[in-house]
Chain A
């Protein structure tokens, strides 16, 4: 038996050399013998040939980064869409005022203001873009700055930046990639905070209900001002990459800490990294990134630790991984999920 095994392995060695090591100098007879020994028919040999090709094709296709490519295509179809679609709805002349009014009274209407600005004359010279339950990626401002809006976020900016400042205001959470312009600082009004930059990328979190404004800097340098500061209080912070500045409304105080949240920008990138992260925290992140509600049926599950990295995977997939890792069961659908111990 052992000898047979050995002989067969030698045959496979020859076969492998014939396909994988092209100039291996195997004689036709040798190869024929090996084939005869391993295969019982010509079609089995053909099968192997097909298989070898498929496996090589597998490696070939692995060279293409589908996730990155999709991100590009997704951005393009969102920024170029000239018709209504589910994510972004545009306003056209006539209906513009009514729809904007609807936004103000808080109806869940998605509006892409960038196009509005060019297609219709709302107000004087301002543009408003509002996201609802979907992230809006890469809005380009008149100066070439890019902004991504998390869900339920509104940004207002002028059609054209005149004067010596570039001023915008936001409510909600947004990621800015500011086009550098030393002569024209970029200023963001977010609640009671004013954020001033000279060309950088950073994330501003200023949901009104949060009663605080957070700024996390990825690159560059950012100044945060407390517009409501009392004379004796610190009214200014300078943030560098890795810093987080928080303006807490309750105490009317500005605080600088280092940003501990590796996933702060995951709502935009959908790249989630967990390093021995508690399940509770994992779920909080998933809720934010995928805009869903997830709860744990048993408080003991809170403290389970997950280590994993997900680069733009669908939620279903991530839930499956969690299910299998911790022997849990996920119930629910359509944005409402419960995690239970498998019975």
Chain B
């Protein structure tokens, strides 16, 4: 479904439909910046490169010829732009070599990209945490703070942070279980009855 949506947007973009162009931009911009940042370790430069790339795509839209997945095309382009940038700047040779090596490896856009549906689900799930728990979780995940730092910042005990983080993780898991199932089925096809097995375990324990 996603493939056809991208395809449609791409065809419209080629015809000069700015709205389709904007949709693609909004859908992939953050993920592409995040991806570019892996090579550049500078999120500002990463953003500049991705923006520049989109402007170029718009300018040469009539000449675009994407045969494969649009998503892959975009991510490949970002990678190439980053590599050009790195060579251009002649960043320290060793570092550049390291990056080049990483960049020559296969990559999976889905390590960087989230579907809109999933973004909404995660957002909603985090929003539905009790305020204090949400704050603690945000400090950990958004600000990258350690448990100890969170405890100090909020003037609570590390024990409390531990308990709240555990409950937050449990909540997310329960809330997003079907999504998580879906994610894994892509990788391990044999697994499909997580729910019922979990159910049995619950019964035997009580």
Q: Mark B153-181, 1 if CB is under 8 A from A, else 0.
A: 00000000011011111101100100111
**Are the CB atoms of A86 and B16 closer together than 8 Å?**
yes
**Are the CB atoms of A4 and B206 closer together than 8 Å?**
yes
Residues of B within 8 A of A16 (CB): 162, 165-166, 168-169
Task: Determine whether A61 belongs to the interface, using a CB cutoff of 8 Å to chain B.
Answer: yes
**Are the CB atoms of B29 and A12 closer together than 8 Å?**
no
Residues of A within 8 A of B55 (CB): 73, 76-77, 80
Residues of A within 8 A of B50 (CB): 69
Distance of B154 from chain A, by nearest CB (Å): 15
Contact count band on B: 35 or more
Distance of B4 from chain A, by nearest CB (Å): 21
**Are the CB atoms of A77 and B142 closer together than 8 Å?**
no
**Are the CB atoms of B183 and A51 closer together than 8 Å?**
yes
Distance of B32 from chain A, by nearest CB (Å): 9
Distance of A133 from chain B, by nearest CB (Å): 14
Taking A15-B169, A41-B194 as contacts, is the C-beta distance between A66 and B26 under 8 angstroms?
A: yes
Q: Which residue of B lies closest to A85 (CB)?
A: B16
Q: Which residue of A lies closest to B119 (CB)?
A: A58
Which of A42-50, A258-266, A302-310 faces chain B?
Answer: A42-50
Distance of A335 from chain B, by nearest CB (Å): 14
**Are the CB atoms of A48 and B180 closer together than 8 Å?**
yes
**Are the CB atoms of A87 and B18 closer together than 8 Å?**
yes
Task: Determine whether B85 belongs to the interface, using a CB cutoff of 8 Å to chain A.
Answer: no
Residues of A within 8 A of B22 (CB): 70, 74
Residues of A within 8 A of B190 (CB): 43
Q: Mark A14-26, 1 if CB is under 8 A from B, else 0.
A: 1111011111100
Considering the chains assembled together, what is the distance between the CA atoms of A206 and B179 in angstroms?
54
**5 residue pairs bridging A and B, Cβ less than 8 Å apart:** A12-B167, A13-B167, A16-B169, A20-B147, A54-B114
